[in-house]
Amino acid sequence: MAEATGLITVAPRSVPARFASRVWRMRRLPLIPMFILAVFVFTGITANWIAPHNPERGDIRARNLPPAWLEGGSTKYLLGTDHLGRDSLSRVIFGARISLIVVAITLGVGGVFGVLLGLVAGYYGGWVDELVMRVVDIKLAIPTILVALVLVFALGQSFIIIIAILAIAIWPRFARNIRGEVLQLKTMDYVALAKVAGASTPRILFVHIFPGVVNTLIILATLEVGIVILLEATLSFLGAGVPPPTPAWGSMVADGRDRLAVAWWISTMPGLAIMFVVVAMNLFGDWLRDVLDPRLRQLE
């Protein structure tokens, strides 16, 4: 039956029409990147249950086996084995867990520190802003890889050192972007009214200003995920990352670089994992920016 809405009678749409409308609204969703990221998070969380083999234990009799679809491969090792007979699929799965842990802790530490400094620098201005921004400039001028190599060789290779290096590498980006947003927001009328009402500085920063930078923070965090994964993989590739025998994508690529002619899959499989996750994260971040930025929505 038709539904009466005021003076206009509107006939309900059929089920196929409603389904087609929902599909049309989903056309701009980054479905493939979202699927890749969902697989990445799922494998990282459930690595203990879905990995077919122990990633650190190898069988020397099964060393350098090709993937299952190539001649000489075995369905027991779907992505082949490395030079020590360790299952490549299991190591890629556990490498996803390492990358997921590194990303979560690094963004938690470096992101929080950078956001706090950005809020303080943008709100107070003056010598505080000048000091923080000069420290940011100095940090951005120093090559991260060089600092990482020096710290690792001086302090030793450990998971905590890697987290500290990556957190130091990303906090300036958070500080600079949040500071720019705060410089604009602190001139808004609602902030002036909060000052007149006698609100304390922490309340103005975290109750009135911080909600205005949340969208920027979310977009920045999603874009930094790919950078953190690449940095961690680069350090592991250079031997300054996650210490062995813990499976990390960068160290797995390094393990096979001398065997590309005879066992290309050792480096290729983790390399593809890095590429797919980083590209998917960047595409998802671009889409999220378009969705959360009201200025971009007005252009559509």
- Does the structure show a pLDDT above 60 at 7? no
Whether residue 73 contacts residue 65, with contact meaning beta carbons closer than 8 Å, is answered with yes
In a domain? residue 52 = yes
Angle between helices 210-237 and 88-106 (to 10 degrees): 140
pLDDT tens, residue by residue, 175-201: 999 999 999 888 888 888 888 888 888
Find the domain containing 137 and state its range: 32-298
pLDDT per position as a tens digit, 39-90: 999 999 999 999 999 998 888 888 888 998 988 888 889 998 988 889 999 9
pLDDT tens digits along 134-189: 999 998 888 888 888 888 888 888 888 889 989 998 999 999 999 999 998 888 88
- Judge whether 170 and 107 are in contact, CB under 8 Å: yes
Task: Yes or no: say if 209 and 187 are a contact pair by the CB < 8 Å rule.
Answer: no
Does a structural domain hold residue 184?
A: yes
Question: CB count, 10 Å around CB of 272?
Answer: 14
Which residues make beta-bridge pairs with 81? Answer: 87
The band of 110, judged by pLDDT with boundaries at 50, 70 and 90, is: very high
Q: How many structural domains are present in the chain?
A: 1
- Between CA 125 and CA 197 the distance in angstroms is 22
Q: What angle do CA 156, 157, 163 make, to 5 degrees?
A: 115
Q: Is the pLDDT of residue 1 over 60?
A: no
pTM above 0.85, yes or no: no
Classify residue 82: in a domain, yes or no.
Answer: yes
Residue 3 lies in a domain: no
Residue 153, in any domain of the structure: yes
Closest CA relative to residue 43, chosen from 89, 82, 78: 89
Q: What is the CATH number of the domain that holds 134?
A: 1.10.3720.10
Average pLDDT of the residues in 259-269:
88
pLDDT attached to residue 294:
58
Q: Would residue 248 count as lying in a domain?
A: yes
Residue 10 domain-assigned (yes or no): no
Mean model confidence pLDDT for the chain: 85
Asked if 174 and 110 count as a contact pair (C-beta separation under 8 A), the reply is yes
N residues, the chain: 300
d(CA 247, CA 258) in angstroms, rounded, equals: 18
For tokens 């994992």, the residue is: 273
